[in-house]
Amino acid sequence: MSARLLDGIASAEAIRDELRAEIGRLLAAGRRPGLGVLLVGDDVASAVYVRNKMKACEELGIHHETLGLPASATSAQVLEQVRSLNQRSDIHGILVQLPLPDQIDASQVLDLVDPRKDVDGFHPENVGLLVQKRPRFVACTPAGVMELLARSGVELAGCRAVVVGRSDIVGKPMALLLLHAHATVTVCHSRTRDLAAVCREADLLVAAIGRPGFVGREHVKPGAVVVDVGINRIEDPELARRLLDPGRLAAFERRGQALVGDVCLPEVRQIASAVTPVPGGVGPLTIALLLRNTVRAAATA
């Protein structure tokens, strides 16, 4: 058996098509959605993520601005930029690119973002609304997972779901969304005893732990749906030989690096019924949901 690959690129493009019509209506009413991004420091990965988000905004006609601060910026300087974005009528969504430098209190920064502009869904008010099943904005990656599952015809009501990872960004909101969809949810983490055995109980297994290829054959029940949220850059040839198919392995040998998820795809694809690839799975949905949140923020401003 070879698992069906859930196509995040196609689902993300479908969402963008839907947003084009909505943006057209807003433009006709004289309101152009606007996204402000705060980028602190010179982290290479963060800069790449921001460029990808800005390119996506450009393609849809969303106004976008990136405010950059040096890695030496103080908390006061970062907070002042957030206050400025909060007050601007042409900026409907605010995204603080994480991680922030160590001297910055990330919680203080995220708490200051106007919850009506919190398109990342990290503000305590928006988290609380999600808990109560009254979501305003939901963290983009878990919301993207839910879109991908729905558009791929995966039935959640009554299923046993296991989420590996308990971060505020993915694991916790993912568990809440699945619970609201009537799944029975278990959240696993570093202290979970016999993790593989717990994972094997899942009809739906979501891996979000940031460890390349951690989820293998021993974690997956035959026929389960496996969602890989991880994005890890690897440079180890031995690890690459275990995680990459021949085509991607050849590319790795040319470039010396590759992006992989938390799931060992060659192993898991042999026993799961469906699995998300990395890249091309959840990642495109994260950006699509950021765009959707920004458009919704503009529509309700």
* Catalytic residue IDs: 53, 97, 120
Q: Kindly report the three-state secondary structure assignment for every residue of the chain.
A: CCCEECCHHHHHHHHHHHHHHHHHHHHHCCCCCEEEEEEECCCHHHHHHHHHHHHHHHHHCCEEEEEEECCCCCHHHHHHHHHHHHHCCCCCEEEECCCCCCCCCHHHHHHHCCCCCECCCCCHHHHHHHHCCCCCCCCHHHHHHHHHHHHCCCCCCCCEEEEECCCCCCHHHHHHHHHHCCCEEEEECCCCCCHHHHHCCCCEEEECCCCCCCECHHHCCCCCEEEECCCEEECCHHHHHHHCCHHHHHHHHHHCCEEECCECHHHHCCCCCEECCCCCCCHHHHHHHHHHHHHHHHHHC
How far CA 257 is from CA of 43, 207, 224, 263, 285, in Å, comes to: 18, 22, 30, 17, 23
CA distance 164 to 136: 25
